[in-house]
Amino acid sequence: MPELPRHPPPRAEAHVDLEAIRHNVRYLSGAASGAATMAVVKADGYGHGAVQVARAALGSGASWLGVCTLEEALELRAAGIEAPVLSWLHLPAEDFAPAVTAGVDLSVASVRHLAAVLDGARRAGRHARLHLKIDTGLSRNGCPPADWPELLDAVEKAGEAVEVVAVWSHLAYADQPHHPTIDLQKGRLEEAWELARARGFAPIRHLANSAATMTRPDLHYDLVRPGIAVYGLDPLDRPVPESPLRPAMELRARVALVKRVAAGEGVSYGHEWTTPRETTLALVPVGYADGVPRRLNTGGRMQVHLAGAVRPVVGRVCMDQVVVDCGDDRVAEGEVAVLFGAGAGGGPTAQDWATELGTIHYEIATGVHGARVRRTYSGSGAGLDGAGE
Ligand SMILES: *Cc1c(COP(=O)(O)O)cnc(C)c1O
């Protein structure tokens, strides 16, 4: 019996190139017109690992981190990260004391939320740092302009218990840089900021996500908040060779079984594909439970890069596996198949998947299932937390 390796390679892995993260953050902070850069690491760093990405970003031009939830903010603090962190989506009934204690900046969009934050600050025994969010036209989170004076009243009344760090908002059409709503939202942000200044506050302003960071210098203000571009996925959907960004994640899996199959055999559930000739099939052990959408191979259009060529996935995507047609080429068990990545050798990208599925690459990256797909890293800092290769 052959000796088994002590650290067997993972079945499926989402490999993250931290050098690509660094490259992208350097590019974005260089593009930011002198504004500070907040790397958005919500949703576990868009599926790339929040802590690893945060460290790489802070070392290459970012000075802030942005997250959605208090849990995400506290995970960064628990990892020893001390940079300013903004958390922006909360229930009014949450316990804000741990976040205030940890020095997490909090977005507030209503007097109800402010009351909960003040309660947390009182129990934490220190003041809360607030980013007051104005709804400038997305009609999602944020204080409607009509309620803004009342929110400012409540903030004024809170006195020393709070520090007003920023007035901020989020765009509806950032990916269409000339869309008329952008100027409308910009004007509303500036009005809200002026009203805050009239109360004696001196907040900074921030509005730009990735797309606006890359296309609208007039929206950079004091701080930009790129997310998707940090991960190298182009917010304007330019193909990889034309984008200044480098995709950081490669989803890959090792071939589990290779075999010759006779002509006329049906492949995978429902026999949607039948071998037109005798051929070599490679079984790649990754499927919809790993975040490979089953719909992706509708019409047989999914491909992988394997053994030096781009090859078709044949038949249905299963829960745990897909089958790749290799014709008469030699493919070895254990070889790495790339499902999506930076497009090397003409291989598929997350953008290709998104186009095929009629969605956006954000959903592809965050859809890789962390519980099943092992995350590995390369680049300096990869060995921290034992998460390296
Ligand atoms: C997710 C998010 C961002 C980052 O957006 P990208 O389009 O990924 O750059 C910025 N600001 C807020 C409020 C967000 O929710």
The answer to whether residues 322 and 309 touch, using CB atoms and an 8 Å cutoff, is: no
CB 57 within 8 A of CB 41: yes
What is the three-class DSSP state of 67? strand
Q: CA–CA separation, 244 vs 199, rounded Å?
A: 42
Angle at 107 between CA 199 and CA 134, to 5 degrees: 60
d(C-alpha 88, C-alpha 77), whole Å: 16
Burial class (CB in 10 A: 0-12, 13-18, 19+), 338: buried
Question: How would residue 347 be classed by pLDDT, with cut points 50, 70 and 90?
Answer: very high
CB 48 within 8 A of CB 365: yes
Residue listed under structure tokens 């680049």: 379
277 is known to lie in a ligand binding site: no
How much of the chain, in percent, has pLDDT values that exceed 70? Answer: 96
Token readout for 24 is 């992208």
Which residues of 18-96 form beta strands (DSSP E)?
36-40, 64-67, 85-87
How many residues are there in the chain?
A: 389
Q: Is-contact 320 291, C-beta < 8 A?
A: no
Q: Which mutation among 25, 37, 40, 67 tests ligand 1's pocket best, with the greatest number of atoms within 8 A of CB?
A: 40
Distance 21 CA to ligand 1 centre (A): 16
pLDDT in tens, 103-131: 999 999 999 999 999 999 999 999 999 99
Centre of ligand 1 from the C-alpha of residue 325, in Å: 39
Pocket test for ligand 1, best of 29, 131, 170 (most atoms within 8 A of CB): 170
Cα 37–Cα 95–Cα 155 angle in degrees, nearest 5: 65
For residue 159, how many other CB atoms are within 10 A of its CB?
8
- Annotated catalytic residues are 42, 269
Domain 249-348 fold:
Lyase, Ornithine Decarboxylase; Chain A, domain 1 (2.40.37)
- For 230, phi and psi rounded to 5 degrees? -60, -35
The one-letter amino acid at 325 = D
Atom of ligand 1 nearest to the CA of 88: 13
pLDDT in tens, 57-100: 999 999 999 999 999 999 999 999 999 999 999 999 999 999 99
Q: Where are the beta strands (DSSP E) in the chain?
A: 12-17, 36-40, 64-67, 85-87, 105-108, 128-133, 162-168, 204-206, 223-224, 249-254, 257-261, 266-267, 273-274, 279-284, 303-306, 309-314, 322-325, 336-340, 374-378
Measuring from atom 15 of ligand 1, which residue has the nearest CA?
Answer: 68
Q: Of 132, 127, 292, whose CA–CA distance to 196 is shortest?
A: 132
Q: Show the tokens assigned to 145.
A: 């302009």
Sheet holding 257-261, edge to edge: 257-261, 279-284, 322-325, 309-314, 303-306, 336-340, 249-254, 12-17, 374-378
Helical (H) or strand (E) element with 310:
strand 309-314
Ligand 1 lined by 131 (C-beta under 6 Å): no
pLDDT tens track for 15-62: 999 999 999 999 999 999 999 999 999 999 999 999 999 999 999 999
pTM of the model: 0.95
Pick among 3.40.190.290, 3.20.20.10, 3.40.50.720, 3.40.630.30: CATH of 18-231: 3.20.20.10
Q: What's the CA gap between 329 and 281, in Å, rounded?
A: 10
**Are the C-beta atoms of 162 and 96 separated by less than 8 Å?**
no
Q: How far apart are CA 383 and CA 389, in angstroms?
A: 8
Lookup result for tokens 């920023």: 166
Annotate 202-214 with b (16+ C-beta within 10 A) or e (fewer). Answer: ebbbbbbbbbbbb
Residue 357: which region, alpha, beta or left (left: phi > 0; alpha: psi -120 to 50)?
Answer: alpha
CB 98 within 8 A of CB 119: no
Tokens at 275, concatenated:
């071998």
65, 134, 209, 216, best to mutate for ligand 1 pocket (most atoms within 8 Å of CB): 209
Ligand 1 neighbourhood includes 170 CB (under 6 angstroms): yes
Tell me the per-residue pLDDT of 143-154, one tens digit each, with 9 for 90 and over.
999 999 999 999
Res 298 pLDDT > 60: yes
pLDDT in tens, 317-346: 999 999 999 999 999 999 999 999 999 999
The residues facing 338 across adjacent strands are: 252, 305
Would you list the domain boundaries of the chain? 18-231, 249-348
For residue 213, the ligand 1 atom closest to its alpha carbon is 9
List the residue whose alpha carbon is closest to atom 10 of ligand 1. Answer: 209
What single DSSP character describes residue 349?
B
